[in-house]
């Protein structure tokens, strides 16, 4: 029977290895039949169940389970479970059918587009000619997506041509690549930001995007105009971001000084505040090296400064966990103090910018650039959210401190920049440290992050 001619299928996307539950109807049932077809023509019967008082008659497929209310469940969904699932039911008065089109999703490895020439251990900058070639790929993905190269900023005068799109099937998964030629005609600029991202029908399933900078070392250098100088008239001038970047850093340091100068070592004594450098006592810090026999294995860091040392830990995402009062927030303030004072013996000295946000303040604030503008910069600052993007994009070393995930009101949301930053969908080249209590370690992020735990030295 062609069930698609009777009812419109409900499309259901499921991640591989996730559970599946398909409901049939909310009405009381006398009879329910579940059928499955991988190719929409020949349907295989999974379950026939006749409900009479407490007696059920079932013909079952061992992989699936028929729940008491007539829904069909599966604990471990695999690619071979894709297809059409039809439920035919009767409640003694009337009957009907429900049809599901189940598709299985597999995230690519790694979980972002890979750019030829980049190692993706840090933010990528490629030296190119004004007319050159770019290639990006996603590996081991399902279902297929379409890739697109584009300028990160709409006003950038760069053309992408001769798109060569390649799809290679590896079993149930796909390797997809896009090679383009580009023409960067605005040769007065020596750097431009471009982005490879997924677009089209299945793009919203994955949120795949990677940004890189293209550096043109042979681009003509701009000559600074003097009053009355007409030699360079007609040459478009690049926006000078250096001045705004300097003001941005000044604003950050002024705000952070308020934070690290207002530490209350005894919370209930409100009139005694100290600089963090006077009260910070370095305790013990351990990082998780792996799992053996079902138990986490930990090793000690020699100093808190190793958290921000390049290549000290395995990834650019660290989750710093510790019980209340163990000094997680104080440690982040000490990192701010080190950076603001530019102490030569501290690792923070090599960091261009630190972004520090208290997550409890970010209820309903999805954009991190909006959060920076709202909670760090002064109200009368002329630096916009777009300016913040531009400034951070041109920094070679950025550290993001996200304090108090256990107090974050939107920790269940998948729409916030905080979620995408920790999933490495954003700020892939930035170092990020997120603090939280052990009971609130975000499980979605932990497998892709270094686990670090703080403890008191007794």
Both tokens of 221, joined, read 């250098």
User: Which CATH code of 3.90.199.10, 2.60.40.10, 2.160.10.10, 2.20.28.10 fits the domain covering 3-105?
Assistant: 2.60.40.10
Q: How far is CA 359 from CA 19, 373, 409, 417, in A?
A: 31, 14, 8, 12
Mean pLDDT of 57-79: 81
pLDDT score recorded for residue 67: 83
Q: How many CB atoms lie within 10 A of CB 197?
A: 21
From 216-225, 292-301, 415-424, the region with the lowest mean pLDDT = 216-225
For the chain, give every domain's residue range.
Answer: 3-105, 114-215, 242-455
Q: Which of 58, 55, 51, 64 is nearest to 102 (CA)?
A: 64
Alpha helices for 139-275 (secondary structure H): 242-260
Query: Mean per-residue pLDDT for 84-105?
Result: 88
Q: What is the pLDDT at residue 186? A: 63
Domains 114-215 and 242-455 share a fold: no
> Cα 406–412–415 angle (5° rounding)?
120
Instruction: State mean pLDDT over 102-130.
Output: 85
Q: Kindly compute the dihedral angle of the four CA atoms of residues 382, 385, 388, 389, in this order, to the nearest 10 degrees.
A: -150
What pLDDT is stored for residue 215 in this prediction?
84
Provide the pLDDT for residue 218.
63
Give the pLDDT confidence of 345-378 residue by residue, as tens digits: 455 557 889 999 999 999 999 999 999 999 999 8
Nearest by Cα to 333 from 389, 264, 419: 264
Q: Which helix (H) or strand (E) holds 386?
A: helix 385-393
Residue-level pLDDT at 458: 24
CA distance 138 to 146: 10
Whether domain 114-215 has CATH 2.60.40.10: the reply is yes
* Residues 64, 102 contacting (CB under 8 angstroms): no
Q: What is the mean pLDDT of residues 324-350?
A: 75
pLDDT of residue 248: 92
Contact 424, 113 (CB under 8 A): no
Whole-model pTM: value is 0.48
For the chain, give the percent of residues with pLDDT over 90.
32
Q: What is the mean pLDDT of residues 23-49?
A: 80
Residue 234: the pLDDT is 38
> What pLDDT was estimated at residue 235?
33
Residue owning tokens 């013909």: 59
The CATH label, of 2.40.50.140, 3.40.50.300, 3.40.50.620, 3.30.70.260, for the domain at 242-455 is 3.40.50.300
């Amino acid at each position: 029977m062609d069930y698609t001619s009777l009812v419109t299928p409900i499309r259901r996307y499921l991640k591989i290895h996730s559970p599946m539950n398909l409901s049939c109807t909310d009405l009381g049932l006398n009879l329910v039949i579940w059928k499955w077809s991988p190719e929409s023509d020949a349907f295989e019967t999974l379950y026939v169940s006749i409900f009479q008082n407490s007696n059920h008659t079932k013909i079952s497929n061992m992989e699936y389970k028929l729940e008491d209310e007539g829904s069909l469940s599966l604990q471990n969904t695999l690619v071979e479970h894709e297809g059409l699932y039809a439920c035919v039911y009767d409640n003694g008065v009337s009957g009907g059918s429900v049809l599901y089109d189940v598709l299985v999703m597999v995230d690519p490895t790694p979980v972002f587009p890979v750019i030829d020439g980049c190692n993706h251990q840090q933010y990528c900058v490629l030296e190119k000619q004004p007319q050159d070639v770019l290639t990006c790929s996603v590996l081991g993905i399902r279902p297929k997506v379409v890739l697109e190269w584009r300028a990160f900023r709409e006003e950038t005068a760069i053309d992408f041509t001769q798109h060569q799109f390649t799809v290679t099937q590896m079993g149930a998964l796909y390797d997809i690549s896009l090679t383009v030629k580009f023409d960067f005609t605005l040769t007065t600029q020596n750097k431009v930001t471009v982005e490879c991202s997924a677009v089209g029908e299945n793009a919203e399933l994955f949120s795949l995007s990677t940004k890189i900078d293209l550096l043109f070392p042979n681009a003509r250098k701009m000559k600074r105009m003097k009053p009355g100088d007409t030699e360079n008239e007609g040459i478009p001038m690049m926006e000078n971001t250096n001045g705004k970047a300097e003001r941005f850093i000044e604003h950050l340091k002024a705000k952070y000084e308020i934070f690290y100068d207002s530490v209350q070592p005894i919370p209930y004594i409100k009139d005694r505040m100290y600089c963090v450098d006077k009260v910070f006592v370095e305790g013990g810090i351990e990082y998780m090296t792996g799992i053996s026999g079902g138990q986490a294995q930990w090793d000690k860091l020699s100093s808190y400064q190793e958290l921000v040392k390049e290549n000290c830990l395995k990834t650019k995402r660290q989750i710093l966990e510790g019980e209340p009062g163990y000094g997680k927030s104080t440690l982040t303030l000490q990192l701010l103090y080190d950076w603001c004072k530019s102490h030569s013996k501290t690792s923070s000295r090599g960091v261009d910018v630190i972004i520090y946000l208290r997550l409890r303040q970010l209820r309903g604030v999805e954009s991190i650039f909006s959060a920076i503008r709202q909670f760090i910069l002064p109200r009368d600052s002329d630096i916009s959210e777009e300016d913040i993007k531009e400034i951070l994009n041109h920094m070679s070393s950025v550290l993001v401190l996200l304090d108090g995930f256990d107090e974050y009101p939107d920790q269940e949301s998948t729409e916030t920049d905080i979620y995408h930053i920790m999933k490495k969908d954003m700020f892939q080249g930035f170092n990020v440290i997120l603090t939280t209590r052990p009971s609130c370690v975000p499980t979605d992020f932990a497998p892709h992050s270094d686990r670090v735990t703080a403890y008191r030295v007794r």
